[in-house]
Structure 1
Amino acid sequence: MKKLKEYIIPFVGLKVGKHHFDYQIDNQFFEFFEYDDFNSVKVSVDLLLEKKSNMLELHFSIEGTVNLNCDVSNEAYDQPVEHQLHLVVKFGEEYNDENEELLILPHGAYEIEVHQYIYEAIVLALPYKRLHPGIEDGTLNSEILDKLEELQPVQKEVNENNEVDPRWNKLKNLLNDNK
């Protein structure tokens, strides 16, 4: 698998202190991961890398919009994305990324790849259910919404005397008989 070179940071040559990296994320970035759930992506990532004598701290600030399809109506809309990610990089005997906030690199490592963290932060910043804002406020006019409303199950009217269907009484008797 080829690597995204612009997302590899050689930290060995950096001085101790803070360093800024800016990335503009678009559809090509997600093509690398073969992720095609988005119609378009326009996200900026501000990465603050703080190099210390024995470790690195990375602060990702992600902000922008992702155009995707609504889960209900399949209409495209822009979903705002905003996320913060903090990662501590320490050095040890072997590579270990089991903890989502701590990365351990082997002692001889001289660079860090950040594209996977950016990818995961953007994807995880999206809501689980993708709902067009026009559905929530009632302003979206769509044939699909009209059809869904037409096919919605009709609620049965309650008897005028508020009587319960006698079949339910028989079922309740079964419960009482077991006591």
Structure 2
Amino acid sequence: MKKLSEFLIPFAGLKLGKHPFEFQIDKTFFESFSFDEFESASILVKLVLEKKSNFLELSFKHQGTVYVPCDLTAEYFDLPIKGKMKMVVQFGETYNDDNEELLILPHGEHQLDVSQLIYEMIVLSVPARKEHPGIKDGSLKSAALDKLNELKVKEIKPPSGENETETDPRWDKLKQLLKDK
């Protein structure tokens, strides 16, 4: 993964308080992470960095769409996604990102790369099962669905020679026991 310069935030020169940032995410962002599960993407990420005297608070929000294949029909569609994430950045001896809500940067750092955080937030907001909205409302027209409807069993017919009204007399005796109670 290469460093993306537009996602480097130089926090050293910022005053104490809140500072808003916006990022427009598209397919090239995911290509830099060698992630190719989205055909295209259009996501707006809003970040509010609150600088305090000895730590930083990051509040991320994202909303947009990713163009993905349906898991049932393989038809591509725009999947709406949204999410939010909060993170605290503190300063210590060494870099540590083991905790998902706490990031420790070494003393002397003057900028923060938020590209990895944005990438993880977006990828984790995509549901495990991606289902085309046309499946639920019946408006999806695809070759796969047409073929499935063509091969669908229309009606189950009993084998010829059997009459549904006739039952085994042994079962009739057992049913009589239940009625006698």
Work out whether the TM-score is over 0.5.
yes
In 2, Cα distance between the equivalents of 1:156 and 1:30? 50
In 2, Cα distance between the equivalents of 1:7 and 1:104? 18
- Whichever of the two has the greater Rg, that structure is 2
Gaps of 5+ in 2: 168-181
Shift of 1:47: 0.5
Q: What TM-score comes out, normalization by structure 1 length?
A: 0.82
Aligned residue in 1 for 2:100: 100
Residue 146 of structure 1 aligns with an amino acid whose one-letter code is D
Aligned residue in 1 for 2:75: 75
Does residue 1:110 correspond to 2:110, yes or no?
Answer: yes
In 2, Cα distance between the equivalents of 1:33 and 1:157? 56
In 2, Cα distance between the equivalents of 1:153 and 1:111? 63
Shift of 1:134: 0.4
SS in 1 for 2:53: coil
Aligned residue in 2 for 1:168: none
Deviations 1:119-160 (A, max 9, x none): 111111111100000011111111112334556789978994
Give the alignment of 1:28-39 within 5 angstroms. Answer: 28-39=28-39
Shift of 1:2: 2.8
In 2, Cα distance between the equivalents of 1:30 and 1:81? 15
Give the alignment of 1:1-179 within 5 angstroms. Answer: 1-149=1-149, 160=164
SS in 2 for 1:87: strand
Gaps of 5+ in 1: 164-179
Residue 9 of structure 2 aligns with an amino acid whose one-letter code is I
Shift of 1:41: 0.6
Shift of 1:108: 1.8
In 1, Cα distance between the equivalents of 2:157 and 2:14? 73
Deviations 1:55-113 (A, max 9, x none): 00000110111111111111111111110010110111211111111101111211111
In 2, Cα distance between the equivalents of 1:96 and 1:43? 28
Q: What TM-score comes out, normalization by structure 2 length?
A: 0.81
Moved over 6 A (4+): 152-159
